[in-house]
């Protein structure tokens, strides 16, 4: 059985891309396709992560990240890239066969997919979503039942020219896995 442990990590990073791919209108055809940004991009930031095996049956994991996603030589952020993200997950092993988990994820505001200058469209709002899962292990079979978007939060991960693409409402998932 796992013993109480605590793991902490911190990461600093900088990433540069010469031909970052994005989805946008082709100036020649007018069709929306995958293309490369004209300018190089740079992401600088930090991530912190914590994992804690609080008891043999309780495990917690959390992380938070901050990034400055810029087009090189400008003060404009790369569209659709949030500056802040955070996740929290708790798992409880109720007994040898039953496990319950809850996950909370937060994504900060980000610029519209068609807003390369960061001045043309409203930002996509930040959102926080909660998912839950019950898992039962019986011999070589695993049954799982999950509820995604537990609080039925209306949110969008993508937006182009202030047209937003909503994510699913509260929904159930089921899974049966068999190992041999």
Query: Would the pLDDT of 59 be above 90?
Result: yes
* Residues facing residue 1 across a β-bridge: none
Average confidence (pLDDT) over 96-112: 97
* Cβ-based neighbours of 17, under 8 Å, separated by 6 or more: 40, 41, 42
Residue 57 has a pLDDT of 95
- Taking alpha carbons only, the member of 81, 135, 133 closest to residue 108 is 81
Q: What percent of the chain has pLDDT over 70?
A: 98
- Taking alpha carbons only, the member of 58, 62, 83, 68 closest to residue 15 is 68
Query: Would the pLDDT of 119 be above 70?
Result: yes
* Residues facing residue 39 across a β-bridge: none
Query: Would the pLDDT of 68 be above 90?
Result: yes
Average confidence (pLDDT) over 29-45: 91
Q: Sort strands 21-25 and 32-36 into parallel, antiparallel or unpaired.
A: antiparallel
pLDDT class of 27 with cuts at 50, 70, 90: confident
pLDDT class of 4 with cuts at 50, 70, 90: confident
Q: Do residues 148 and 173 touch, judged by C-beta distance below 8 A?
A: yes
pTM strictly above 0.75: yes
Residue 24 has a pLDDT of 82
Residue 1 has a pLDDT of 56
């Amino acid at each position: 059985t796992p013993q109480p442990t605590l793991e902490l990590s911190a990461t600093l990073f900088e990433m540069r891309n010469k031909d970052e791919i994005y989805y946008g209108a082709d100036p020649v055809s007018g069709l929306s396709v995958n293309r490369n940004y004209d300018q190089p991009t740079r992401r600088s930031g930090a991530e912190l992560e914590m994992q804690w095996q609080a008891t043999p049956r309780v495990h917690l994991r959390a992380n938070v990240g901050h990034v400055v996603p810029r087009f090189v030589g400008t003060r404009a952020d790369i569209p659709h890239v949030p500056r802040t993200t955070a996740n929290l997950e708790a798992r409880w092993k109720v007994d040898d066969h039953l496990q319950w988990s809850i996950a909370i994820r937060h994504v900060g505001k980000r610029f519209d997919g068609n807003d390369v200058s960061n001045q043309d469209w409203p930002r996509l709002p930040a959102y926080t979503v909660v998912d839950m899962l019950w898992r039962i292990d019986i011999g070589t079979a695993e049954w799982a039942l999950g509820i995604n978007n537990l609080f039925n939060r209306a949110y969008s991960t993508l937006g182009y020219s202030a047209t937003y693409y909503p994510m699913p409402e509260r929904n159930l998932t089921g899974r049966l896995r068999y190992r041999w």
